[in-house]
Amino acid sequence: GENVEQHPSTLSVQEGDSAVIKCTYSDSASNYFPWYKQELGKGPQLIIDIRSNVGEKKDQRIAVTLNKTAKHFSLHITETQPEDSAVYFCAAVPGDQFYFGTGTSLTVIP
């Protein structure tokens, strides 16, 4: 089955700096890659996603890039703010199932 690896597990950045979280996947059948943000005590919230026919997608301060050849995708957050502090999960979807990474705890230091 699909295997998703996510790095780093923890990330601290100064407010205003950029943050990058990277994921790799193993199944070439995966063609949908969502990212979720989970704040303490809440459910994961879909923040951005990308499909395999697209190399990059942006939504304001958030962008996701996909390299199908290398089987990796990344989340980029620019101009980070304290409210970006949360746990971020990537996922790869080869069919019916969502395979999640292990999560990255992002802390934005004011």
Would you tell me which residues interact with other proteins (CB under 8 A)? 31-32, 34, 36, 42-46, 49, 51, 89, 93-98, 100-103
Rounded to a whole number of angstroms, the minimum distance from the CB of residue 79 to other proteins is 25
Give all strands of the β-sheet with 19-24 in edge-to-edge order: 5-7, 19-24, 72-77, 62-67, 56-59
Rounded to a whole number of angstroms, the minimum distance from the CB of residue 16 to other proteins is 28
Nearer to other proteins, 74 or 98 (CB): 98
Nearer to other proteins, 78 or 94 (CB): 94
Rounded to a whole number of angstroms, the minimum distance from the CB of residue 51 to other proteins is 8
According to DSSP, the β-strands at 62-67 and 72-77 are antiparallel
How deeply is 94 buried, as exposed, middle or buried, from its count of CB atoms within 10 A (0-12, 13-18, 19+)? middle
